[in-house]
């Protein structure tokens, strides 16, 4: 059945537009037409004035709904994480595994492959964040899990049959030939948890690195005589950088500088979310360490930040309220930029004919009203009256 999404403000071609209807046929957007030209046989779906945006794509999701992917590398775990984040507008995501043993990575890859085969909504692939990192920039990652990337590791990283594989590694802990080997096998490679020099960073970019994992966090900084990985990230147009806009990981001033260096198409919103997102619990255990959410920040007993308590619609709102971006710019960073990064910009990240009908309706208070994944609607009846986080409303 052809469905017309009407009475909303449609984000199309970089602008919010009134008086247009989005026609959805099956899992695809059939057309975007003036409201006066809706076909007579189309069923009308009233958006009640909400903004209709491309569905958000989150390339770094450690957990949600009380589930941590490292602890539950299964189809059921992935489905629970996806359902929790869908309430906040995420229609595409990469379940993310932090540094762990190769057997756990194998199980996670197999689970993602099975989840995609079974049609679990929103799963686009897997993000393997480590263990091929620099222990000096490990953050919350267990030092004993960090290892050198060898042939066995490469075999695991290139084993996914369906969807995209994103790998975060430290360029200085491997070599350009290995990076090229991964990219030639179809792996998307990002640099992160790294102490790489500027020269090492550029060599990795020229070998095929296209992304930066959580810009500014856990990486060699930009200084007067040593630009580091941060300098390379801000300089090179090939690099799409993930940013965590929660007001805790990075100063809004610093993120504003990044926005002056790079266009929104080269900055993508990520949550780095932990199990507390979409859950009533403010505590979880990460590889044996108790983590608590205090003042909106996930920390271990030593005070080390452990991922985030951030969802994508809050990240979008924070861009507008903390960084002063337009909604259009923030939506580009939440949908178009990650779709481009994953090589999916011909089917995701835009509201246009032929694109998959992955959509999110957001009201004026930045609450998610409803979502569509492949044309299938999901509505949270309490969404317009509930906000999980207070940070956005207080900004």
- Looking at the chain, list the stretches that DSSP marks H as alpha helix, in order from N- to C-terminal side: 75-86, 102-117, 151-157, 176-184, 198-207, 228-235, 252-261, 312-322, 327-331, 337-341, 391-394
Whole-number Å distance between alpha carbons of 215 and 199: 18
User: What is the phi/psi pair of residue 271, to 5°?
Assistant: -100, -35
Q: Which residues are annotated as a binding site?
A: 129, 140, 193, 214, 217-218, 225, 249, 305-307
pLDDT tens across 366-384, in order? 999 999 999 999 986 554 3
Cβ-Cβ contacts under 8 Å for 224 (sequence gap 6 or more): none
Whether the CB-CB separation of 136 and 195 falls below 8 Å is answered with yes
Specify whether 357 is located in the same domain as 275: no
First to last CA, the chain: 42
Specify whether 223 is located in the same domain as 277: yes
Specify whether 295 is located in the same domain as 361: no
Specify whether 206 is located in the same domain as 317: yes
Whole-number Å distance between alpha carbons of 186 and 194: 22
pLDDT tens across 165-220, in order? 999 999 999 999 999 999 999 999 999 999 999 999 999 999 999 999 999 999 99
- From residue 298, alpha-carbon distances to 191, 219, 281, 282 in Å are 23, 20, 12, 9
Where does residue 349 fall: left (phi above 0), alpha (psi -120 to 50 degrees), or beta otherwise? left
User: What is the phi/psi pair of residue 354, to 5°?
Assistant: 90, -20
Q: Which residues are annotated as a binding site for Zn(2+)?
A: 129, 193, 214
Specify whether 276 is located in the same domain as 332: yes
Residue 200 belongs to what H/E stretch? helix 198-207
Q: Which residues are catalytic?
A: 272
Specify whether 218 is located in the same domain as 244: yes
Q: What is the pLDDT of residue 332?
A: 98
Whether the CB-CB separation of 115 and 154 falls below 8 Å is answered with no
Specify whether 107 is located in the same domain as 23: no
- Three-state DSSP at 317 gives helix
> Residue 262, CB half-sphere, CA atoms under 13 Å: how many?
27
Q: Which residues are annotated as a binding site for substrate?
A: 140, 217-218, 225, 249, 305-307
pLDDT tens across 258-301, in order? 999 999 999 999 999 999 999 999 999 999 999 999 999 999 99
- Three-state DSSP at 336 gives helix
CATH code of the domain covering residue 127: 3.20.20.140
Specify whether 11 is located in the same domain as 142: no
Q: What is the pLDDT of residue 276?
A: 98
Task: Round the CA-based radius of gyration of the chain to a whole number and report it.
Answer: 20
Whole-number Å distance between alpha carbons of 150 and 156: 10
pLDDT tens across 326-365, in order? 999 999 999 999 999 999 999 999 999 999 999 999 999 9
Q: Is the pTM of this model over 0.75?
A: yes
Q: Please count the residues of the chain.
A: 395
Whether the CB-CB separation of 10 and 16 falls below 8 Å is answered with yes
Residue recorded with tokens 């299964």: 74
Bridge partners of 24? 3, 29
Tell me what the mean pLDDT of segment 36-55 comes to. 97
Specify whether 242 is located in the same domain as 387: no
Sign for the CA dihedral angle at 310, 134, 211, 80 comes to negative
Query: Is the pLDDT reported for residue 395 higher than 80?
Result: no
Specify whether 280 is located in the same domain as 356: no
Range of the domain at 256: 55-341
Asked whether the bond before 131 is cis by omega within 30 degrees of 0, the reply is: yes
Specify whether 201 is located in the same domain as 237: yes
Whether the CB-CB separation of 122 and 90 falls below 8 Å is answered with yes
CATH code of the domain covering residue 32: 2.30.40.10
Total domains in the fold of the chain: 2
The confidence band for 155, taking pLDDT boundaries of 50, 70 and 90, is: very high
Q: Which of 18, 121, 162, 127 is nearest to 359 (CA)?
A: 121
Where does residue 214 fall: left (phi above 0), alpha (psi -120 to 50 degrees), or beta otherwise? left
Domain end, chosen from 298, 316, 341, is at: 341
Whole-number Å distance between alpha carbons of 367 and 385: 8
Query: Is the pLDDT reported for residue 390 higher than 60?
Result: no
Cβ-Cβ contacts under 8 Å for 288 (sequence gap 6 or more): none
The confidence band for 1, taking pLDDT boundaries of 50, 70 and 90, is: confident
Domain end, chosen from 341, 367, 385, is at: 341
Specify whether 109 is located in the same domain as 144: yes
């Amino acid at each position: 059945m052809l469905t017309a999404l009407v009475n909303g403000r449609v984000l199309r071609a970089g602008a919010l537009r009134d008086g247009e209807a989005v026609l959805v046929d099956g899992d695809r957007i059939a057309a975007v037409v003036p409201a006066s030209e809706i076909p007579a046989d189309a069923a009308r779906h009233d958006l009640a004035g909400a903004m209709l945006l491309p569905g958000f794509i989150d390339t770094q999701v450690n957990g949600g709904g009380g589930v941590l992917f490292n602890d539950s590398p299964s189809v059921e775990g992935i489905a629970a994480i996806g359902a929790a984040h869908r309430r906040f507008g995420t229609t595409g995501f990469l379940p993310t595994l932090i540094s762990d043993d190769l057997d756990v990575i194998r199980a996670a890859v197999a689970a993602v492959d099975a989840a995609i085969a079974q049609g679990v909504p929103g799963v686009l692939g897997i993000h393997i964040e480590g263990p091929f990192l620099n222990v000096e920039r490990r953050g919350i990652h267990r030092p004993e899990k960090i290892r050198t990337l060898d042939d066995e590791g490469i075999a695991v990283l290139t084993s996914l049959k369906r969807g995209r594989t994103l790998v975060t590694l430290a360029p200085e802990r491997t070599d350009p030939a290995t990076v090229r080997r991964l990219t030639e096998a179809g792996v998307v490679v990002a640099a992160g948890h790294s102490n790489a020099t500027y020269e090492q960073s550029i060599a990795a970019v020229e070998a095929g690195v296209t992304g930066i994992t959580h810009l500014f966090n856990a990486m060699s900084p930009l200084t007067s005589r040593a630009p580091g990985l941060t300098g390379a990230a801000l300089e090179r147009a090939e690099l799409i950088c993930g940013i965590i806009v929660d007001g805790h990981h990075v100063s809004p001033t610093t993120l504003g500088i990044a926005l002056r260096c790079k266009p929104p198409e080269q900055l993508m919103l990520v949550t780095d979310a932990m199990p507390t997102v979409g859950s009533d619990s403010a505590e979880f255990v990460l590889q044996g360490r108790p983590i608590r959410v205090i003042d909106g920040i996930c920390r271990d007993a030593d005070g080390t930040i452990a991922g985030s308590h951030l969802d994508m619609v809050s990240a979008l709102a924070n861009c507008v309220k903390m960084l002063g971006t337009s909604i259009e710019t923030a939506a580009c960073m939440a949908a178009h930029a990650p779709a481009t990064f994953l090589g999916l910009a011909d089917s995701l990240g835009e509201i246009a004919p032929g694109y998959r009908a992955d959509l999110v309706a957001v009201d004026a208070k930045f609450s998610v009203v409803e979502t569509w994944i492949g044309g299938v609607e999901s509505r949270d009846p309490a969404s317009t009256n509930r906000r999980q986080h207070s940070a956005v409303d207080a900004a």
